[in-house]
Structure 1
Amino acid sequence: MSEGQLQGEARFRRRAIKVDEAMRLVLEAAAPGRQESVPLWEAGGRRLAETVSATTDWPPFARAGLDGFAVRSADTALASPGAPATLRVADTVAAGALASAAVAPGTAVRIMTGGAVPPGADAVVMLEQTADAWVDGLPAVQVRSTAEPGQHIAPRGEEFARGSEFARPGELLRPGHLALLGTFGYAHVPVYARPRVAVLATGAELLPVEAPLEPGRIRDSNSAMVAALVAQYGGVPVLFGRVPDEQSAAAQAIADALQQCDMVITTGGVSVGDYDVMASLLRLIGTEKEQGEWMERTEAGGSIERYGGKGKGKPLDSDEVIIGNAAPSAAVSGAVVLKAAAAHGAGVSCRQGSFGPVPPAEPRAAALDAISSEPIAEATQLGSDAAPSTTAPQPAMEMARSEDGQLGQASASARSLLPLASQLPPASNPSPRALLPQDSRLLFNKAAMRPGAPTSAAVISGKLLIALSGNPGACFVGFELFARAALLRMQGASEEAARPKQVTAKLVGGFDKGSPHERFVRARLYTENGMLYADPLAFGKSSMMASIPNADGLIRLKAGASGADAGAIVDVIVL
């Protein structure tokens, strides 16, 4: 494989996993994250991070439910419109005030909605069932109906007893929650922090949005769309600009993004093209299972087999090696060879004959991690192309890009210093795998879906990386299926609540095209006569974006030789 070509035959051996399984892996990796305390008025729409409880009984006193008179129910036992009970008005109680005395037999207290019911009274008669009167020159009231004990009174603790929980972690705070929180004195509320999400675009063909078009190039539209989606689902987008199609630069950009953010979303570079940098970089991470299997093969009996052929196991039985196209070096141990080759991504050959390429990146990384007893030296400054980037990433809506709109050029130390076996000649590039933390694992690098099959995900230093397609339609679908779920989960939603909401609808127009994988079709949803309808939108191909603004649902069609007929009942993900 040439220096400029990032992918080899392994690009065609990616195993697709079902969408539901991919979503499960993403949700498992996206555990609820940082917590913070925010002012009560800012807590709406956030998810609670701690259990909150009533700090007092509620209501804290017996409270009048309406305007009227607080009475003793026994004094009204014989009252009727024709023979009302006449009671002397002893006091008036406004909301927030207390009666000066208890209600004695034959008396009543004028009371307002929300006022504290005075001692002695066990009922409130609404104002409309009374009439003003005078007794011996003093104010009185005529009650024209019988009052039942407890009538129109909210007893103390009717809604909440002190110490009772009223909201738990992960609950979405709605306006009603804020009313309760204010009632119980929560001036600041513990919530899950909004995840900071790095947005990186790959592709040498991309231009800044403000740049004029050039032949063969297009503007970066995905970054703005992804940033808006991140914000829509509660995250804080941090724009890192464009990353060159070069492994070390991409690895450095991701490492920089992870320093500042809770999650990384990339667009483009995930397919099988020669220069699809994210696909090749994710393959360097590999899965723990693949790493373990390869190490078992290499450690058993000290022999190594070619990776990925049909029974072509040819042991490496010479300590003299050739790294890439370099001349034979001095004799070094096989362990050093493996380590250096893993670090350089180079091919390895025996002097007696071709040994074949070093295994793909997953086992390469395992060998690099597992073999550590050999002496390692640092390389010196490489060629003149190792100049450092002129600007460091800075969080801005939030933007972090260099003056030319690109980010991800390896720093001077990353591009010039490299772990090497001291006996071996220096390499021309740093190891992309060495730029990423060793505790990295691939979740998947292909999903059984259309569009967006190359969508991938990994965990790097405990943080989620989701690599979306560069095609706008596929990028949009991949975000709605995986990134959206991850964002909600990181903000405290349960795994079930974080999953996309799915309903059934009647298909308006037929969709004839079959697919070997599940297909997600952008659609407009509407209700008519109590029935939900899904109308497939035009311009729905992976590379097309005209239908994205009007899509409020994704029709989910099962894999098969044909699609679905008009009138069929189909599953739909609500956007």
Structure 2
Amino acid sequence: MQTNEPPDKNKDSHSLRFGRKPIKVMEAQNRIRSHIQTGKVETIPLTESDGRYLAIDILASDDLPHFRRSGMDGFAIYTADTQKASRENPVWLEVIEEIPCGSVPRKTISSGKATRIMTGAAVPDGADAVVMIEMTNTLEKDGKTYISIPRAIPQGENIAPIGSEINKGTLILPKGTKINAGVIALLATFGYAEVSVYQQPKVAIFATGSELLDVDEPLVPGKIRNSNGYLLLSLLQQAGAKPISQLKLPDDVQQAKSAILQALDEVDFVITTGGVSVGDYDILVDIFAEWDGQMLFNKLAMRPGSPTTVGVRNQQFLFALSGNPGACFVGFELFVRPTIWGMQGKTNLELPMFTATLLEDFSKPSPFDRYVRGITSYQNGKVYVRPVGVEKSSITLTIKDADCLIIIPAGGRGASTGDIVQAISLKNME
């Protein structure tokens, strides 16, 4: 019978290695979320804030606009003058001033008068509309300029009133908002040269396995280069975290445990890749059996990455992801990325899901739900997905092309062309 309780942290290594009870992905995510804490707050220049998350609510410091603003190039007028205007009998108004953007009107509009005004400029007192320049004709007479208007103009036309966009004191950006170009524009509009944001989580990355070579080492028989470390480095940076170190762990439990615990003194959380299966050299199993933290789960009802293990110690996470690149990638997206969001104050930690039609058969059965790397396409207003290639957790090549994770439900038949499936968008991980 499946239990929803976290595994006992004091179980011995043999029990943790062979007595694992799988839990659903959603249950695992909920267990992680209950331990997520937002990070410290820092104030940084607005110019350096792109991609960060607001740590305070942002209120409008002024009305927007804070003066009556012209919506186009034209003439500011008193509309009562135009009520009887027609093509056959246009009204003529004397132009008494010109107002470029950034200038303050010096004259008040009264009956029979008009002011030339530019888009975005301040509307003079007395004016209650702006008539577009294309509607008028101009006449020079006796050193004065006059315009004709051939129809009645309604009050308020082409004028943005004070506060028509936002009133002073209005909440415009709640804390936890991710800063992008539009957010930066708003912050600049309201005078925020500096902004309070959550600190980026500091992360240490460890890759386990005596088979691993550094990226600049030549290949030799039986060895592979440490690609997962660089995969995680990139994913962490994209998610807004700050990788501090990326090292290899020896196949020695005590040395590896010492390195991880030392790292936890210096970073906000640790990610390892490899060493979480049931083999004799899968050292993370032994580390979780010995450490003084809590293990949240050590097996998932999912493919790939079922042995993914997550623990917490002093409110710091240890994410032990699979050593297979595909499983490592999926584990990051399902568990690590939402954690980084939460540590930076994002309130909605749900992954972006969508419904689509499967374009190709996926005949590989599984006792657990599968998260298949896929590609999204659009035809005749419908959304389609298909697997990006051969679905093996050991394959690195297809990670670069995947823009979604197709969820194939557990069962004996897989899924067929035309089936309606759920998928997680990897393009909208904001």
Among candidates 416, 421, 425, match of residue 565 of structure 1: 416
Among candidates 85, 104, 113, match of residue 98 of structure 1: 104
Distance in 2 (alpha carbons) for counterparts of 1:493 and 1:91: 51
Q: Which residue of 1 aligns with 2:380?
A: 529
Check the 8 A contact 1:68/1:112 in 2, yes or no: yes
2:389 matched to 1:502?
A: no
RMSD: 1.7
Q: 1:72-91 alignment to 2 at 5 Å?
A: 72-91=78-97
Q: Which residue of 2 aligns with 1:258?
A: 264
2:74 partner letter: G
Q: Which residue of 1 aligns with 2:37?
A: 31
Distance in 1 (alpha carbons) for counterparts of 2:161 and 2:388: 57
Q: Which residue of 1 aligns with 2:21?
A: 15
Question: Aligned-pair distance for 1:9?
Answer: 5.0
> C-alpha deviations, 1:528-557, integer Å up to 9, x for none?
222222212333212222222222222111
Query: Unpaired segments of 5 or more residues in structure 1?
Result: 1-5, 285-432
Distance in 2 (alpha carbons) for counterparts of 1:96 and 1:204: 68
2:113 matched to 1:107?
A: yes
Question: Aligned-pair distance for 1:170?
Answer: 1.0
1:536 partner letter: P
Question: Aligned-pair distance for 1:7?
Answer: 4.4
Q: Which residue of 2 aligns with 1:67?
A: 73
> C-alpha deviations, 1:427-483, integer Å up to 9, x for none?
xxxxxx3xxxx4x21111111111111101111221111100111111111111111
Q: Which residue of 2 aligns with 1:329?
A: none
For the structure 1 residues 243 and 281, does the alpha-carbon distance in structure 2 shift closer, same or farther, using more than 3 Å as the test? same
Q: Secondary structure at the match of 1:562?
A: coil
Among candidates 286, 300, 305, match of residue 447 of structure 1: 300
> C-alpha deviations, 1:167-226, integer Å up to 9, x for none?
011112232222221111100111222222111011122121222223322221110111
Q: Secondary structure at the match of 2:407?
A: strand
Distance in 2 (alpha carbons) for counterparts of 1:444 and 1:51: 35
Q: Secondary structure at the match of 1:514?
A: coil
Among candidates 197, 218, 229, match of residue 224 of structure 2: 218
Q: 1:378-417 alignment to 2 at 5 Å?
A: none
Among candidates 325, 339, 362, match of residue 511 of structure 1: 362
1:554 partner letter: L
Q: Which residue of 2 aligns with 1:483?
A: 336
Check the 8 A contact 1:7/1:274 in 2, yes or no: no
Q: Secondary structure at the match of 1:519?
A: strand
1:463 partner letter: Q
Q: Secondary structure at the match of 1:513?
A: coil
Q: Which residue of 2 aligns with 1:192?
A: 198
Q: Secondary structure at the match of 2:412?
A: strand
2:124 matched to 1:124?
A: no
For the structure 1 residues 141 and 538, does the alpha-carbon distance in structure 2 shift closer, same or farther, using more than 3 Å as the test? closer
Distance in 1 (alpha carbons) for counterparts of 2:335 and 2:123: 55
1:553 partner letter: C
Identify the range of structure 1 (442-451 vs 208-217) with the bigger mean alpha-carbon deviation.
208-217
Check the 8 A contact 1:240/1:257 in 2, yes or no: no
How many pairs align? Answer: 415
Q: Percent identity?
A: 44
For the structure 1 residues 546 and 115, does the alpha-carbon distance in structure 2 shift closer, same or farther, using more than 3 Å as the test? closer
Q: Which residue of 1 aligns with 2:6?
A: none
Q: Tell me the TM-score normalised to structure 2 length.
A: 0.92
Among candidates 206, 212, 234, match of residue 240 of structure 2: 234
Distance in 2 (alpha carbons) for counterparts of 1:90 and 1:537: 68
2:379 partner letter: E
Distance in 2 (alpha carbons) for counterparts of 1:66 and 1:248: 72
Check the 8 A contact 1:539/1:546 in 2, yes or no: no
Moved over 6 A (4+): none
2:86 partner letter: S
Q: Secondary structure at the match of 1:527?
A: strand
Question: Aligned-pair distance for 1:491?
Answer: 2.0
Check the 8 A contact 2:36/2:315 in 1, yes or no: no
Distance in 1 (alpha carbons) for counterparts of 2:125 and 2:59: 29
Among candidates 149, 153, 156, match of residue 159 of structure 2: 153
Distance in 1 (alpha carbons) for counterparts of 2:85 and 2:94: 15
> C-alpha deviations, 1:61-111, integer Å up to 9, x for none?
111111111111111111122211111111111111122221122111111
2:311 matched to 1:468?
A: no
Check the 8 A contact 2:16/2:285 in 1, yes or no: no
Distance in 2 (alpha carbons) for counterparts of 1:151 and 1:275: 76
Query: Unpaired segments of 5 or more residues in structure 2?
Result: 1-11
Distance in 2 (alpha carbons) for counterparts of 1:180 and 1:216: 55
Distance in 1 (alpha carbons) for counterparts of 2:248 and 2:309: 19
Q: Which has the larger radius of gyration?
A: 1
> C-alpha deviations, 1:10-68, integer Å up to 9, x for none?
41101111111111122232332222222222223322110011111111111111111
Question: Aligned-pair distance for 1:256?
Answer: 2.0
Check the 8 A contact 2:13/2:289 in 1, yes or no: no
> C-alpha deviations, 1:297-319, integer Å up to 9, x for none?
xxxxxxxxxxxxxxxxxxxxxxx
Question: Aligned-pair distance for 1:499?
Answer: 2.6
